[in-house]
Structure 1
Amino acid sequence: MVGMDIGTTSTKAVLYDLDGNVLAYTNKLYPLYRDATGMAEEDPEEILEAVVNGLQEILRKADLKNGKLHGVSFSSANQSLIALDKNHKPLTRVITWADTRATKYADQLKADGTGKTLYEHTGTPIHPMSLLCKLLWLKNDHADIYKKAAYYCGIKEYIFYRLLDVWQMDISVASGTGIFNIFDLDWDKDALALTGVTTDQLPKIVDGYAQSTGMRDEYAKVIGYPKDVPFIQGAFDGALSNLGVNAIDEGVVAVTIGTSGAVRVVTDHPVIDPKGRVFCYALTKDLWVVGGPVNNGGVVFRWARDNLFDAEKSTAALLQEDSYDLLTEIAKRVPAGSDGLLFHPFLGGERAPIWDADARGSFFGLTQMHTRAHMIRAVLEGIVYNLYTVLLALEEVVGEPKSIMATGGFARSELWRQMLSDIFEQPVTIPESFESSCLGAAVIGMKSLGLIDNLSDVKKFVGETNTYQPNPENFDVYRELVPIYIRLSRQLQTEYTNIANFQKKHAQHGETQE
């Protein structure tokens, strides 16, 4: 089985045998375009090329003389939007979840109360990430595109259309759009009325187990796959990450820190938060993922490395060492709590739990005694504090966690693993599973094809686990600092919009992130 994850800055493909062992891996990168304030777009043709090249490379690495390729199953990032003309040609690039240009319309929905009702129907918090707000932005600010648009979809649906000539969206991705009713399991009439979009303009909704065959000749020839190989629709990356670390049982929380981050738990029915702090999206129609995504994970660590530790980054490159490992070694010299230095990691606005695209980052508590070493530890702690506030909101909605599984690029760092356990005051288990969203996609594919009986069979594929126990010596420090962190965030929130407006007014240029 191939599990393929179409992500924000790269597409990854992993070839697994039917015991879940990794046989081959590819990772194809592409840019995230930030040419204007708030923009975060990708080129759909660059992503299509990455998918084609990834599938081609995986096939070259596979030994099909000694085995059969059963299928390809897909994961993708949520909340992407492409407007298409009547011939399904893109009128826009891929407007990603990280794009905040629809902030004005999210604010309006929150202010007039419409947003609360829509959240209760759709399970998607009101935020510029959602297709609901993006469509309102296109309708009002880019009427020329809106009038030409015959269809709308996300990146996975576009890839399936181009490769296989099918026009469909899995229930998992649909449930994160903000225009899908998670109780009726269909497009939400009130959301569509607000945007002016009709069901005829949207893909058909299918189960994540749906199979498609018959790749278009132009791609079948290039990739080299037999045309009868089924492509399985799959789900969104966060839900599949939970599946890929075997966090699908009641009370098992998955914490992920990659470029961004998330805290999620699976339930057997849709759950709505009266305070609107967490999302509720589908894994399948029988399993629902409740949680909160954060914008600011490893990307903030990278910012700190590039802007506060440029010399160390260069030194690490000369010594052929990992610059992140060097920084975590520096952070270890500083005691838990960073001697009272707090960092709010909101460099890219924030989603859960505050859902404020205008949120901004800050150091608080700086004194003359603080050093760059304090600052790097405070950055790492701030990212985990923020994830902990998401867990606190989640506990109110679904109860206290029974166990915590952690995954993502951060999980390579022993310091970060221990920090997570100390701040959460719970044992944290790190599964060995490689590329959890790809594994989750592969497991969905295996279930679709009858190769396994239940999704819970994933436990056979996850591999060894490593559990970190909380250090009681650090409890008192973090128990004292976390409430200050939370109160401070609430107090600063009154000024986030003001400083964000100033920055937008005086913005000089955008950027392209590779």
Structure 2
Amino acid sequence: MTCAADCVLGMDLGTGSLKCVVMDVDGRVLATAERAYPTQSRLPGWAEQHPRDWLAAMRLALDDIAAGRPGLFGRIAALGICSAAHIPVLLDGADRVIRPAILWSDQRSGEEVAALRAEYGPLLELTTLNEASCTWTLPQLLWLAKHEPEAMARVRRFLSSKDYLIFNLTGEACMDFGSAAATLMLDAGTRRWAKPLTELSGLSAAAFPRLASPLAVVGTVTPAAGAAYGLPAGIPVIAGTLDSAAELVGCGILEAGGLGMVRVGSAGGIMATTDGPSFNARIITYPHIAEGVFYKQAGTNACATSLKWIRRLCSDAAAGGAARPSYEALDELALTARPGADGLIFHPYLHGERAPYWNPDLRGNFSGIDHNHAWPHFVRAVMEGVAYSLRDCLDMFRREAITVTRAVMSGGVVKSPVWTQIVTDVLGIETHTVRDGDSARGACLLAATAAGMFGTLEAAAAACVVPGKINAPDPARRDLYARGFERYRQFACFFDAAAREPRGGGADTRLDPRPEMNPAQADVRRPDHRRETIDR
């Protein structure tokens, strides 16, 4: 690294937008830019994006930084990228995108999930440490093989969303261990592609990229990519990782222990770190970047998405085509309603639901509406409903004896003091924020460590992670929210059971996610599956 190269560039390819951050060797953020892209939903429960829109967003975000800080890119020592999980990109023999990418929130693969659980459940548990659900890449590929066989027949290269950006920047096809784990085709023990599962996908072994450590330099920005995106050629690009793993790094959570994370972005969930690999039913397990550490995630599908939805409804309902209220205005509305929203309960199942129900057919709803409820109640109920959904996730950890006594709160929620306090009150644990502790900043810390600015990730976190505000649960609201959550849970279980009713006379083979209602699930017989791997 030359003396002029004293900065790193981090990118986060999120569910709704791409964010770029430039950070210097002292951990200061010098520039940020963010550009959004559309999500298409051609049918109910579907969610797709086109990779060309990601590339356009990357170019525009980089252009914004270059315009605001001329010459800054000449100081970049390394580039790190993270992205949302479970988003496959399929390329043909000429490396052209075959079809739009299916998002993690897409719910179309329910039949494939049921078949995987029935036929390969023990193998998936033993090999990947996870259960099948619509969020994973493998059932998405099985759906495509059934419904779009001509597209699958053309696939010659398979990448994740992040790795498609890296491929365009460097010409190198690779995937980090975390992104590979998100495909449901990685052997968690050997960190190699699991041959029985890759063969099941219908893709050839040659289509799978080589695997790399998140800190590994996998290539450099090519002259063609530099000209296209305004970057100097030759910048080292690291493999990067999932946005959730990068956010743990950005918030300084690098060890196993009681400090967890509450993520409230477009989606959200609870994360906790553990020592060594283990399987927990209905909880996702990913490899952490820190050696020997894994992290558990119980995710909910629609957090900020729910608030965006009610914001749009407020605007649509206003007379004269009024502009959509600001998020600050939504905070003010929520404050005018009493805690508990006078009995109004919202279930944020706008895209089906992951933990703890893993039911793609669940749909959002309000319960307990009466003639006294007005817009403030509905806005507050949405905020509280998302918090109750997170409490549902936290209780999963408690049932599994995974301790979360304190948590870093991250995502767009930290911009709202009202919503932050609601989540803290409902969870009943202390939370705190971290300055600039998002996924893009985590990607910067990875790049800085790979570039030699810091000797270890721990050193990078110690130098750059700055604690923010501490939030304590209000004891006066404990009982109120405990009663509210009990009502939320009762309604949720009822709606979940109703959504699982067989349609058309066929048996529903999906697993019931509620351990208290499925005791036989605890006695799974595990056949002795031999672990075959592809060393690529």
After alignment, is 42-51 or 391-400 more displaced?
Answer: 391-400
| 1:245 Cα deviation after fit | 1.5
| Counterpart check, 1:460 vs 2:463 | yes
| Counterpart check, 1:77 vs 2:84 | yes
Q: Root-mean-square deviation (CA), in Å?
A: 2.4
Choose which of 21, 28, 35 in structure 1 pairs with 2:35: 28
Q: What SS does structure 1 have at the residue aligned with 2:390?
A: helix
Please tell me whether the aligned partners of residues 157 and 169 of structure 1 are also in contact (alpha carbons under 8 angstroms). Answer: yes
| 1:115 Cα deviation after fit | 3.0
Which residue matches 1:300? 306
| Counterpart check, 1:3 vs 2:10 | yes
| 1:408 Cα deviation after fit | 1.0
Which residue matches 1:422? 425
> Aligned in 2, Cα 1:136/1:328: closer, same or farther, shift over 3 Å?
same
- TM-score for both structures, normalised by structure 1: 0.90
Alignment of 1:269-284 (within 5 A): 269-273=276-280, 275-284=281-290
Cα separation, 1, equivalents of 2:19 and 2:65: 10
Please tell me whether the aligned partners of residues 176 and 281 of structure 1 are also in contact (alpha carbons under 8 angstroms). Answer: no
Which residue matches 2:111? 104
| 1:164 Cα deviation after fit | 0.9
| Counterpart check, 1:153 vs 2:178 | no
Tell me how many residue pairs correspond in the alignment: 495
Which residue matches 1:261? 268
C-alpha distance after superposition, 1:438-458 (max 9, x if no partner) = 111111111112211222231
Q: What SS does structure 2 have at the residue aligned with 1:101?
A: coil
> Aligned in 2, Cα 1:214/1:481: closer, same or farther, shift over 3 Å?
closer
Which residue matches 1:448? 450
Cα separation, 1, equivalents of 2:338 and 2:503: 33
> Aligned in 2, Cα 1:420/1:500: closer, same or farther, shift over 3 Å?
farther
Cα separation, 1, equivalents of 2:226 and 2:502: 51
Long gaps (5+) in structure 2: 1-7, 505-536
Which residue matches 1:203? 209
Which residue matches 1:194? 200
| 1:67 Cα deviation after fit | 7.5
| 1:398 Cα deviation after fit | 5.4
| 1:90 Cα deviation after fit | 1.4
C-alpha distance after superposition, 1:209-246 (max 9, x if no partner) = 11134433322223343322101111110111121122
| 1:487 Cα deviation after fit | 2.6
> Aligned in 2, Cα 1:474/1:314: closer, same or farther, shift over 3 Å?
farther
| 1:464 Cα deviation after fit | 4.2
Which residue matches 2:407? 404
Q: What SS does structure 2 have at the residue aligned with 1:248?
A: coil
Q: What one-letter code is carried by the residue in structure 2 that aligns with 1:36?
A: L
Q: What one-letter code is carried by the residue in structure 2 that aligns with 1:244?
A: G
Which residue matches 1:167? 173
Please tell me whether the aligned partners of residues 31 and 65 of structure 2 are also in contact (alpha carbons under 8 angstroms). Answer: yes
| Counterpart check, 1:222 vs 2:224 | no
- TM-score for both structures, normalised by structure 2: 0.86
Which residue matches 1:506? none
Long gaps (5+) in structure 1: 502-514
After alignment, is 380-389 or 484-493 more displaced?
Answer: 484-493
Cα separation, 1, equivalents of 2:307 and 2:319: 12
After alignment, is 133-142 or 35-44 more displaced?
Answer: 35-44
Which residue matches 1:507? none
> Aligned in 2, Cα 1:66/1:448: closer, same or farther, shift over 3 Å?
closer
Alignment of 1:317-336 (within 5 A): 317=323, 323-336=326-339
Cα separation, 2, equivalents of 1:316 and 1:241: 36
| 1:387 Cα deviation after fit | 0.6
> Aligned in 2, Cα 1:410/1:355: closer, same or farther, shift over 3 Å?
same
After alignment, is 375-384 or 84-93 more displaced?
Answer: 84-93
Please tell me whether the aligned partners of residues 271 and 290 of structure 1 are also in contact (alpha carbons under 8 angstroms). Answer: no
After alignment, is 223-232 or 162-171 more displaced?
Answer: 223-232
| 1:466 Cα deviation after fit | 0.5
> Aligned in 2, Cα 1:488/1:61: closer, same or farther, shift over 3 Å?
same
C-alpha distance after superposition, 1:143-187 (max 9, x if no partner) = 111222222212222222222111110111111111111122111
Cα separation, 1, equivalents of 2:126 and 2:286: 10
Q: What SS does structure 2 have at the residue aligned with 1:78?
A: coil
Choose which of 49, 58, 71 in structure 1 pairs with 2:65: 58
Please tell me whether the aligned partners of residues 282 and 358 of structure 2 are also in contact (alpha carbons under 8 angstroms). Answer: no
Please tell me whether the aligned partners of residues 159 and 173 of structure 2 are also in contact (alpha carbons under 8 angstroms). Answer: no
| 1:496 Cα deviation after fit | 1.5
Choose which of 126, 131, 135 in structure 1 pairs with 2:132: 126
Q: What SS does structure 2 have at the residue aligned with 1:70?
A: strand
> Aligned in 2, Cα 1:109/1:261: closer, same or farther, shift over 3 Å?
same
Cα separation, 2, equivalents of 1:397 and 1:296: 24
> Aligned in 2, Cα 1:134/1:79: closer, same or farther, shift over 3 Å?
same
Which residue matches 2:188? 182
| 1:421 Cα deviation after fit | 1.6
Q: Report sequence identity in percent.
A: 26
Cα separation, 2, equivalents of 1:198 and 1:490: 41
Alignment of 1:303-314 (within 5 A): 303-308=309-314, 310=316
C-alpha distance after superposition, 1:83-125 (max 9, x if no partner) = 2212222111122112222122112223x25235313421343
Please tell me whether the aligned partners of residues 80 and 97 of structure 1 are also in contact (alpha carbons under 8 angstroms). Answer: yes
| 1:313 Cα deviation after fit | 10
